[in-house]
Each structure stands twice: as structure tokens, then as C-alpha cells.
Amino acid sequence: MKNTISTLFFSLILALSLVLLLFIPSYASDSSNIQMTVMDQSPYGFTTKDGRKTGVLYDILNQILKTSGMNQPIGIVPTKRLLSILQNERKVCTIVADTPDVQVFDLIEPIGFKLTAGILPGIGIKLDNYSSLKNKVIAVPLGIIFDKRFHEDDTLKKVRPHHYTNAIKMLKTKRVDAVAGALLTLKYIAKKEGMNLMSFNKPLVLAQTEAYLVCTTDLEKANREKLKKSVIKLKLNGTIEKILIEYFGVL
């Protein structure tokens, strides 16, 4: 009788242990296997000379994670690789513009910031409309795509430097008439290069899109809700606006 009770007791403990093994890992991995990343492009995400990761989207994503209690490390990757990661990894989140490329993913929540893209001309160059681009030399950084008509227009004179910074340097030295890209980004980099608002004429705006916290559809509903609530809270308490002003000045 004693042996039977001992056997039953051991069997019960073993069964409970197996149940715990089944449930504990899935609970613990709720947020631990989510990949958080932003594009490697100043001022969105970059590494300082002393090795510190920062950037306007990096800082916003970092605050979103802290508020949600996730505290995941954030990777900074090249723009082209970012889209590849979103397409090939199971659980990934980032902050990007709402474009056709990302609409197949889960747009969690707009962060309260619109990305305005177009053509930023040097001083003395007037761009009243699209036809004003004719005969202008325009620097278009590699990988920058924001308007189908502009990017497929082979009648325009375009040069393709590797980075935004190189494009701005070309504008500064008057090797080009204008630069294409995200306007706030161009002005931020220009300021770093010693230029000011008097260095430019009025930009020609070609696109304006909302920036979203975006995740792949494999992300669990509970984590999506956590992230969504965090973004809403940070918009309401002014944290996101404060970060945006820190990088771009008065919006």
C-alpha cells in the first residue's frame, strides 16, 4: 500500500513538472524573442564616435519599450536590410513611414510624426512645381525612394551619392542644384555640415507619410496591445514630441 501511494505521489509530481515545462517557456518567450530595429541613417538611428547608439527613431523606440516593460535591445541596420528583416524574420518591430512596402505588415500605431519628402534646393534655385525640376542637377542618395513619378523620370538630371551626407556636401559646394529625400533629415544633416536655413530655398514637397510603429504579423496580440498602449501614452504625455523637438527643433 505504501509503495502504491509513493508511486502515485511521484507520478503526480512528474505530471505537474511536465505541465510547468510546457507553459513556462511560452510565457517567458512572450517578448524575449522579439527583434527591435531601426534604420541606420542619421538622425533616425546611428552610433556616436564614442560607441553610443542613439537617433530620433532609436530614442522613441527605446521609450516605447521601456513604457511597455519589454526592454529589448535595439539593432541599427542599413535601410535595405531593414526591409529584408521584416520580410524574413518572424517577430520584428521598427518605426517606418507608411508606404506600400510596409502595408503588408501590422501597423501598430502612428507615432505622431509625419515624414515629408521632396526636393530641397540651394539658395537661388526656385522650385514652384514639378516642371521646375527640368535642367536642374539633383542629388538622389542611393536607396532613397519616396515618389514613383520622380524616381522613374529619366528626363531629369540625377546624380546618386552613397549617403545623405555626401548629397548635402555636394549641395554645399554647388556641385548640384538640389537634393532629394526626407526634408527634416536633409536639414538636420546640413546643420551638422555648418549650413543654415539661409542656405536653401523653399523645398518642393512630393510626398508626406505618417510614421508608424510597425511589427510583423507573427507578433502575439498581447504584445501588440502593450506596444500600442505605450505609443499612445508617450504621445499624450509629450515624450515623443520632446524627442522630435530635440532633433529637429520646433515642428
In tens digits, the chain (251 residues) has pLDDT values of 444 434 433 333 333 333 333 333 333 445 557 889 998 988 999 999 999 999 999 999 999 999 999 888 999 998 778 878 877 778 999 998 877 667 678 889 999 988 899 999 999 999 999 999 999 999 999 877 888 899 999 999 999 998 899 999 999 999 999 999 999 999 999 999 999 888 999 999 999 999 999 998 888 999 999 999 999 999 999 999 999 999 988 65
For residues 131 and 149, is the Cβ–Cβ distance under 8 A?
A: no
For residues 128 and 235, is the Cβ–Cβ distance under 8 A?
A: no
Same structural domain for residues 91 and 38? yes
Same structural domain for residues 79 and 134? no
For residues 82 and 96, is the Cβ–Cβ distance under 8 A?
A: yes
Residue 90 lies in a domain: yes
Domain residues for the domain of 174 are: 116-208
Same structural domain for residues 201 and 237? no
Same structural domain for residues 225 and 187? no
Q: What is the dihedral of CA 139, 53, 192, 96, to 10 degrees?
A: 40
Quick count: other Cβ atoms within 10 Å of Cβ 41? 24
Residue 160 lies in a domain: yes
Whole-number Å distance between alpha carbons of 214 and 95: 6
Same structural domain for residues 96 and 148? no
Same structural domain for residues 82 and 38? yes
Same structural domain for residues 191 and 221? no
Same structural domain for residues 202 and 124? yes
Total structural domains within the chain = 2
Same structural domain for residues 91 and 175? no
Whole-number Å distance between alpha carbons of 61 and 58: 5
* pTM (2 d.p.): 0.78
Same structural domain for residues 120 and 204? yes
Q: What is the CATH number of the domain that holds 78?
A: 3.40.190.10
